[in-house]
Amino acid sequence: MPRVKCPKCNKVETILKSGFIRQKQRYVCKECNYNFTLHHENRKAKHQARRNYHTTILDIAKAMGISATTVSRALHDHPDISRQTTAAIKEMAVEMDYHPNLLARSFVNRKTNTIGVIIPNLEATFFSSMLGGIQKVASQSGYRVIMCQSNEDHQTEVDNVHALMDSRVDGLLICHSMENLSYDHIKVYQDRGVPIVHFYRVLMESATSKVLANNVEGAENITQHLLDRGCRRIAIILGPNPLLITKERLSGYLNMLKKSDIAPDQKIICYTDYSQLKVIAAVDQLLELPEPPDAIFCISDRSAIYVLKHLKKRNIKVPETIAVAGFGNDLMGELVEPGLTTYDVQTSRIGETAMEIMLDQMNGGVAYQSELKTVSGELVIRESSQKPEY
């Protein structure tokens, strides 16, 4: 049971209750004949005086005439502390509006319960949606999320990594900037044992865990769907050449062509930087071909929408003359006319999965050190690829 200590002579056994004053228990020390109320009464005065004052466990301890250790343990439901003491302490904590100083706690525990996330930006819906997924799982498991944007800039990304590490995040989730040059900045920390998970954009060389959209399967699904619809000459509009995403989606496309015994034609395999200008140029080039394509598969919804608009402008019917498909299942694809066939990559799920692996890694240790997980999505068929007459 919590005991009250005399503020004057520091004795415990000598205290008697001496009635109430302003709804507060008043005590008297029979030894030194000192009248007083509980310490946190005094504290309240201080509180008024000093701005920004926070109750500490020591305040509680003093107020109850017990030690800080006991308070700390009680608040953590340590089995050593008796039920009554624990209850009394918790009650007092509420009464005194105690909030733990998480900073101090993190400092001594060497654990911040915070994970750092680096993403290229927050304007693109798929990034923010992945972040949303991460945040959701994180908060469910009691982790806070510190977030940085690299703005697709490598140096910013490097700086962010260091900043997050200096803040002692418990783990790092990172989606590389496009112009990623190396992963040295990450390797240092990885070697130190900081859990790191890559997502969406990934360097295969790194020995970290990785979460990817199922790019190959997605591209296969789209391609097969177009083939099923009767398309034989399917153009593909890709992103920048060296990117993993470009490679994977291209390989999915090639897989399905091969399966249908269609020889790939370099003339209808176009690399772009995703910009509207380059995409439209690619389309124009395709249309000028002696054998123009009967379908265009863009590996990004955004590009696909540029294509749709451009084809409409050139009075080419979609899907009758040329079918169009995208990749990603951006919200826009639903609203555009015709609705865009695409592959739903489940961005939010990617974020959730990344955070789940992070949790595994933080708990399970080395076991899951270098997992590669792909999140499968599903085909979303809309008007841009449907040929109603079949």
Interface with a second copy (CB under 8 A): 51-52, 99-104, 106-107, 110, 112, 114, 121-123, 125, 128-129, 131-132, 135-136, 139, 144-149, 162-163, 165-168, 192-194, 305, 309, 331-332, 335-337, 348
The token pair at 284 is 């124009």
Interface residues for DNA in 1-20 (CB under 7 A)?
A: 1, 3
Distance CA(352)–CA(245), nearest Å, equals 20
348 contacts 191 by C-beta, under 8 angstroms: no
Task: Using CB under 7 A, pick the residue from 56, 149, 246, 272 that binds DNA.
Answer: 56
Tell me the CB-side half-sphere exposure of residue 194, using CA atoms within 13 A.
28
State the minimum distance, in angstroms, from the CB of residue 30 to a second copy.
39
Toward a second copy, which CB reaches closer, 99 or 387?
A: 99
Binding status of residue 167 toward DNA by CB under 7 A = no
State the minimum distance, in angstroms, from the CB of residue 378 to a second copy.
19
Toward DNA, which CB reaches closer, 3 or 314?
A: 3
State the minimum distance, in angstroms, from the CB of residue 176 to DNA.
29
214 contacts 343 by C-beta, under 8 angstroms: no
Toward DNA, which CB reaches closer, 5 or 185?
A: 5
Q: Tell me which residue of 372, 376, 356 sits closest to 137, measured CA to CA.
A: 356
CA torsion angle 295 298 304 310 (round to 10): -60
Binds 79, which of DNA, a second copy, none (CB < 5 to 8 A, cut-off by type)? DNA
Task: Using CB under 7 A, pick the residue from 11, 26, 34, 100 that binds DNA.
Answer: 100
Binds 388, which of a second copy, DNA, none (CB < 5 to 8 A, cut-off by type)? none
Task: Using CB under 7 A, pick the residue from 39, 40, 73, 201 that binds DNA.
Answer: 73
Distance CA(265)–CA(273), nearest Å, equals 20
Task: Using CB under 7 A, pick the residue from 76, 258, 259, 312 that binds DNA.
Answer: 76
Q: Tell me which residue of 341, 302, 303, 312 sits closest to 325, measured CA to CA.
A: 341
Task: Using CB under 7 A, pick the residue from 35, 67, 275, 363 that binds DNA.
Answer: 67
| Residue position matching structure tokens 């772009």 | 272
Binds 56, which of a second copy, DNA, none (CB < 5 to 8 A, cut-off by type)? DNA
Toward DNA, which CB reaches closer, 97 or 179?
A: 97
Toward a second copy, which CB reaches closer, 27 or 368?
A: 368
Distance CA(262)–CA(256), nearest Å, equals 9
Binding status of residue 80 toward DNA by CB under 7 A = yes
Identify the three-state secondary structure at position 371.
coil
The token pair at 52 is 């920004």
Toward a second copy, which CB reaches closer, 48 or 266?
A: 48
Residues contacting residue 47 through CB under 8 Å, at least 6 positions apart: 53
Residues contacting residue 253 through CB under 8 Å, at least 6 positions apart: 219, 220, 222, 223, 234, 236, 297
Binds 384, which of DNA, a second copy, none (CB < 5 to 8 A, cut-off by type)? none
Binds 305, which of DNA, a second copy, none (CB < 5 to 8 A, cut-off by type)? a second copy
Helix axes 68-75 and 57-64, enclosed angle (nearest 10): 110
Distance CA(315)–CA(327), nearest Å, equals 24
Binding status of residue 108 toward DNA by CB under 7 A = yes
Residues that bind DNA (CB under 7 A): 1, 3, 54, 56-58, 65-70, 72-73, 75-76, 78-82, 85, 100-101, 104-105, 107-109
